[in-house]
Amino acid sequence: MVTLTNTGSLALPITSITRTGTNANQFSQTTTCGASVAVGATCTISVVFKPTTAGVKSATLNVNGGGGSGTNSVTLSGTGIVPTYTLAPTSIAFADQAVSVASAAQVVTLTNTGTLALPITSVTRSGNQFSLTHTCGTSVAVGASCTISVVFKPTTAGAKTSTLTVKTGGGAGNKTVSLSGTGVVPAFATSPLSLAFGNQARNTSSPSQPVTVTNTGSVQLPISSVKLSGMNTSQFSQTNNCAAVLSVGGSCQVSVVFKPTALGAKTATLSVNGGGGSGTASVSLTGTGN
């Protein structure tokens, strides 16, 4: 702030208040001085520095008084600084991921390495195979960090790529992180493919027979459901120890019991429904009520 004081015995006309010099446009001013300043009174000129580029800037503030009082000048100087920051890592390669199943999040850290607060304009990613959340807000303080969490959820099989882009203000520019991953359809098998219970007395339960479900693929297998269907569903029952997700190479077991309530041949189907596009595996069930 510059203070102007009328030290004379007459009102001081203010002809103009201007800025000159190579970097005059890097400074601006407002004033309370009006067209004249009374004897012994003061007014103020508030100067703001807003550099558009980095580097040393200078200008001159000129106050032109009327009535032969001449011009008084104030030297203005300042240095424009560009904020700086880092993103780490600069690329993320996700492991193979089951189609339509979200991966665990991987984290990118943004660190303000400069001497000014870093304005955050936007944090975005291309495409729809990856999603993100972040803690960066609209500004990151000097020396502070924020995190960007990225999740891979492929909608189809095959290699997928995307770019995470952080846009910042203050001349700091944009930075990117390359994202990649491969969508994989899980694979599994059931064994055996059929269960024959033979003859069974009515209203008595047979010994249970097992069906083993094995994840034969390269990614975790979501188990959507294990259920019975068919004409004689009520004549069979099942229990299983299959969790919601079956690890690579892992297996679980379904135990099936036949309990006919009437005479004659009975049939049903045991269906194991896998997620991630892996489909359904079926086991045929047969038995005869005696």
- The amino acid at 229: S
CATH class as words, domain 85-184: mainly beta
Q: Quick one: pLDDT at residue 286?
A: 98
User: pLDDT digit of tens for each residue in the chain (290 aa)?
Assistant: 999 999 999 999 999 999 999 999 999 999 999 999 999 999 999 999 999 888 999 999 999 999 899 999 999 999 999 999 999 999 999 999 999 989 999 999 999 999 999 999 999 999 999 999 999 999 999 999 999 999 999 999 999 999 999 999 988 999 999 999 999 999 999 999 999 999 999 999 999 999 999 999 999 999 999 999 999 999 999 999 999 999 999 999 999 999 999 999 999 999 999 998 999 999 999 999 99
Rounded CA gap, 164 and 148, in Å? 10
Q: Quick one: pLDDT at residue 54?
A: 87
Q: Quick one: pLDDT at residue 212?
A: 98
Answer whether 85-184 and 188-289 agree in fold: yes
Domain covering 2-80 assigned CATH 3.80.30.20 in the classification: no
Exposure of 12 in the CB half-sphere (CA atoms within 13 A):
24
What are the residue ranges spanned by the domains of the chain?
A: 2-80, 85-184, 188-289
Q: In sequence order, which ranges of 70-199 are alpha helices (DSSP H)?
A: none
Q: Quick one: pLDDT at residue 12?
A: 94
Q: Which residues pair with 130 in a beta bridge?
A: 152
Rounded CA gap, 256 and 286, in Å? 11
- Strand 174-184 and strand 130-134: the pairing is unpaired
Rounded CA gap, 170 and 83, in Å? 6
Tallying the residues shown for the chain, one arrives at 290
Domain covering 188-289 assigned CATH 1.10.3660.10 in the classification: no
Q: Quick one: pLDDT at residue 36?
A: 95
